[in-house]
Chains A and B, each alone.
Chain A
Amino acid sequence: MGGLDDLYQEIILDHYRNQRNTGRLDDATVAVDQNNPLCGDEIHLELHIDDGRLTEVAHSGEGCSISQSSASMMSEALAGKTEDEALDLVEHFRLVMHGEQDADEDRLGDAIALEGVAKYPVRIKCALLSWMAAKDAILTHRSGDQTGG
């Protein structure tokens, strides 16, 4: 089952089974909901933004191992970043998923393990869902709203 093990690396299954940064924040700065109409995956994402920096990231929702582990990895990758850094990283991840940029492990952290998803076109949307939610949340915050999606 070589092909599948490429897709479902152990670290992905680990993030799926033991998700990091789940739940809700006591004092979220911005919250967004997004879903993937194709498969029903859903994410609720909350950010605490302090002085232009993402101090806390919390996600909840439902979905497959790829979308759930990706959300967990995203929450780790973006926490502590400035809004601009976070947007850049989201864009990098998006390009990696579309096979248009080589993955930068230093920036992506565990999310480097999702590189293999690029070979499974129908699953790319699963991996991107939480990252697109993060982008939406930051842009929503910038536009002065508290909720988006």
Chain B
Amino acid sequence: MSTAAPLDVAVVKRDFPVLGRSVHGRPLVYLDSAATSQKPASVLDAMDAYYRETNANVHRGVYEMAADATERFEAGRTAVARLVGAPREGTIFTKNATEAINLVAWAWGARNLSSGDEIVVTQMEHHSNIVPWQLVAEMTGARVRFAPVTPDGELDMDGLRALIGSATRMVAVVHVSNVLGTINPVPEVARMAREVGALCLADGSQSVPHMPVDFDELDVDFLAFTGHKMLGPTGIGVLVGRPAILDEMEPFLGGGEMISDVREDGSTWNDLPWKFEAGTPPIAEAVGLGAAVEYLEGFGMDAVRAHEREMARTLLDGLAEVPGLVVHGPTDPDRRGAAVSFSLPDVHPHDLAQHLDQDGVAVRAGHHCAKPLMRVLKVPATSRASAYLYNDARDVEVLVAALGRARSYFAT
């Protein structure tokens, strides 16, 4: 696996129709894949073919088209489960990563937490791995605690260890930070959780798309991720859970599809994973996500990760050429993904992103849904360039040149 062939980015780029467009008369340089990835033609085609050839509701009709739709939908699940080494019955489709985390917070947390219990998260979480816990904590009397981040943007493992104790019931941690790019040692965190009898959830939104991730190796109880950041469509996310725990949990949303029987005096639940999939699921989206997984598997996640390690290095080297620019997060490409946040003195991220847009360069400016982390970094907002398998060194050159121009434009 580790001898994967390197990516030929020129070829990869051609698989992504939108990358051929221009913006303000300049070729698009898309460096915002941490917000959402672009989609290869194979994903668009699979979704289009589903609607054109065999659109029908799933798990219901007896006619051939419905059987075909169900087959394509469930094939999407099989592909996703295979990608992360998860059991099919523990692979639940949700709307996005946010809903996947909410599912755990409500279906597990609301029923199992009580006053005095603690949920441990980190200061580098996305809001989607903070707010659901705060809501459930407010309802149950539990408390949310935040493990600190070191000045160089890594998870403070001693600080985390100090927080985890007999009151801890859940440790919820981001696998790869969408702001800092930091890769967190999730298996070690999961071990710390298990030692005190707590569960562990990993937010894999920024790891599953970019590197080999194996549910068993992570050793967590839950893994959440989102389709649109991994070349798939919006409207679909995934929660992987240990079947033994999912079996014990009550459903999250109620309705069609998730039931075994419905009577006036109560209902019983469908088998896993459908017990957690109320209503008509995102069918075309599951088909598209399956195609996205197959596209990634065509290169192998080792090759994707190797490319992104190089992109992280290229980005860090390129950004270091810009006078005064400060990178937030690890500077060792081995310890980080290819989402790189930075600050440029005297140029607000908003102004910077607007200026870069004029050069066709798409980067993100803002708090990246991580306001607690912004407070730790003592910045109101940052700019972030994030690469994926379709970016190359040329994209970074265009970015760095545009940064230089923006800097002189706003210089005081």
Contact = CB atoms under 8 A, between A and B. Distances in A.
Contacts of B381: 39-40
Given A7-B354, A38-B366, A39-B367, A63 B410 contact: no
Which of B349, B351, B355, B412 lies at the interface centre, i.e. has the most chain A CB atoms within 10 A of its CB? Answer: B351
Interface string A40-54: 111000000000000
A57 interface: no
Interface in B199-237: none
Interface string B381-412: 10000000000000000000000000001101
5 contacts: A13-B410, A39-B349, A40-B380, A65-B410, A66-B351
Q: Main SS of chain B's interface residues?
A: helix
Contacts of A123: 350, 354
Nearest to B406: A4
B354 A4 contact: yes
Nearest to B374: A40
Which of A4, A17, A41, A62 lies at the interface centre, i.e. has the most chain B CB atoms within 10 A of its CB? Answer: A4
Interface in A1-52: 1, 3-4, 7-8, 13, 17, 38-42
A139 interface: no
Interface in B278-303: none
A64 B348 CA distance: 5
A63 B354 contact: no
A4 B366 CA distance: 20
Interface string A54-94: 00000000111110100000000000000000000000000
A3 B380 contact: no
Contact of A17 (B351, B355, B380, B412): B412
B358 A64 contact: no
A12 B393 CA distance: 35
A39 B358 contact: no
Interface string B341-361: 000000011110011001000
B365 interface: yes
B52 interface: no
B328 to A, nearest CB: 14
A62 to B, nearest CB: 5
Contacts of A42: 380
A40 B367 contact: yes
B99 to A, nearest CB: 21
A127 B226 CA distance: 34
Given A3-B24, A42-B380, A126 B354 contact: no
Interface in B67-113: none
Contacts of A4: 354-355, 358, 409
Contacts of B24: 3
Contacts of B365: 39
Contacts of A13: 410
A19 to B, nearest CB: 11
Contact of A63 (B348, B371, B374, B409): B348
Given A40-B380, A62-B380, A120 B412 contact: no
A120 B380 contact: no
B380 A41 contact: yes
A135 B351 CA distance: 26
A3 B350 contact: no
A13 B355 CA distance: 14
Contacts of B409: 4, 8
A149 B412 CA distance: 31
A120 B354 CA distance: 10
A24 to B, nearest CB: 19
Contact of A1 (B348, B358, B374): B358
Contacts of A65: 348, 350-351, 410
B123 to A, nearest CB: 16
B379 to A, nearest CB: 9
Given A39-B350, A41-B380, 13 more contacts: A4-B354, A39-B381, A40-B380, A63-B350, A64-B348, A64-B349, A64-B350, A64-B351, A65-B348, A65-B350, A65-B351, A66-B351, A68-B348
A132 to B, nearest CB: 17
A134 B373 CA distance: 30
A39 B349 CA distance: 9
A62 B375 CA distance: 14
Nearest to B352: A64
Given A38-B366, A39-B365, A39-B366, A63 B380 contact: yes
